[in-house]
Amino acid sequence: DILGTQDGGRRITTAKSHLDSNRKNLHVIRQAHVKRVNFNAEKKATGVTFMLNGKREYTVQVSKEIVLSAGAIGTPQILMLSGVGPTAHLKKHGIPTMLDLAVGQNLKDHASLPVVFQIDKSTARKPTEEELVDAMYNLLMGRHSKLLHHEATSLTGFINTTSKTGPNPDIQTTNFYSLMQSPELKGYVAATGFNERVAKSILAANQLSNTYITYLLHLKPFSFGHIELTSANYLDKPKIYANYMSDKRDIDTYVRALKIYSKLPETKAFKIREAALHKVDLEACNSLVFQSDDYWRCYIRHMTTTVYHPVGTTKMGPVTDSQAVVDWRLRVHGAQNLRVIDASIMPDIVAANTNAAIIMIGEKGAEMIKEDWEQNGARKNTHNEL
């Protein structure tokens, strides 16, 4: 069976798998949007102010502590709106600084690069009406289907582009297979956000053959970015500067990977499936020699996207680390009663999909909270000292 966060063939979130709605000590407020965390003069988190349904403001006081789990984008935004972040940036938006910390820095993500192949040219077929109906039903029910890639996406590969015998891969692949003129590929191309020219080129590969698209994920990127506030208004989405490929070493890794995967049609298995590398119509790259290093560098500049694995924006580390925001117990440096438990605490991105690691962070953070409060019936180390 497919390895994934599923139950009975349906993909589920941790809200379904972990939260018990019958717990007396759990109260979930829906349609609530947090504006800020409130502090007193001693830098102790005292509560949270939020808007309900965008109409009425509430402030909830805390008796023990606040845990931020809004993710690598939402958590730094809330902290900065609360006065926790780089002083110069907060001052720019008229926000008084409570704690001068590197919130929003150290953003890392897995960039992703598609490579498109045409396959099965002599045996390609369109999906049947029955398959289309089945796929739509399964989609609405949250289940997988053959038409909607489930067999393909369960195929994940890991390679080391510098050594065939090296123990640590630097590239992960996620793979997608589509029947000829498959409507789900049209939806995928639209959702990815390719410009019209590129989208038409990818869909053209699917007109007279089946297609196979492999996405190359750089597992341990050297490039990093940051997140900034757009304004002091909690409704304004933050600015995300991913800075993919800003470090030349990431480009070099992708060039090596592209050279490996562009040779797949030469293998026995791919020859049987009549595979051919599809040249995507990229205006800026078409004049370059196809598959040359210069061509691949151009391809990387124009085709890089993301698989949405942002981490690191409230980095965990000792107080001596100028980039660290939380300590080893996930408590915000210099604050009291405030923790961060989500992907943003990762010092570096994990060399795999982030979902399982983030669930582990949640489990470990919960254990830390229990340990700190169960010890003698009171919290140990109230101040964040290592």
Task: Give yes or no for residue 152 having a pLDDT over 50.
Answer: no
SS3 assignment, position 84: strand
The residue type found at 260 is I
Q: Does residue 112 have a pLDDT over 70? A: yes
Per-residue pLDDT reduced to its tens digit, 246-268: 999 999 999 999 999 999 999 99
| Domain 6-108+310-377 is found in CATH 1.10.10.10 | no
Residue 310, pLDDT above cutoff 80: yes
Angle at 214 between CA 211 and CA 220, to 5 degrees: 170
Confidence of residue 386 (pLDDT cuts 50, 70, 90): very low
**pLDDT exceeds 70 at position 304:** yes
Q: Give the CA dihedral 190, 196, 198, 199, nearest 10 degrees.
A: 30
- Least confident segment among 125-134, 161-170, 280-289: 125-134
Output the pLDDT for position 149: 45
User: What architecture does CATH give domain 111-224+242-306?
Assistant: 2-Layer Sandwich (3.30)
Kindly state the tokens that stand for 257. Answer: 């990977």
Instruction: Enumerate the domain spans of the chain.
Output: 6-108+310-377, 111-224+242-306
Percent of the chain exceeding pLDDT 70 equals 90
pLDDT category at 135 given cuts 50, 70, 90 is low
Are residues 205 and 278 in contact, defined by beta-carbon separation less than 8 angstroms? yes
Whole-number pLDDT of residue 132:
72
Closest CA to 243 of 345, 353, 347, 111: 111
Q: Reply yes or no on whether the pLDDT at 219 is more than 50.
A: yes
Average per-residue pLDDT for the chain:
90
Which of the residues 110, 144, 226, 309 is marked catalytic? 309
Average of per-residue pLDDT across 55-82: 97
Q: How confident is the model at residue 360, as a pLDDT?
A: 95
Amino acid 383: pLDDT: 47
Please identify which residue in the block is written with the tokens 């341990």.
220
pLDDT value at residue 137: 62
Q: What is the CB neighbour count within 10 angstroms for residue 46? A: 18
Residue 113 predicted with pLDDT over 60: yes
Clarify whether 309 is annotated catalytic: yes
Summarize pLDDT for 38-50 with one digit per residue, the tens: 999 999 999 999 9
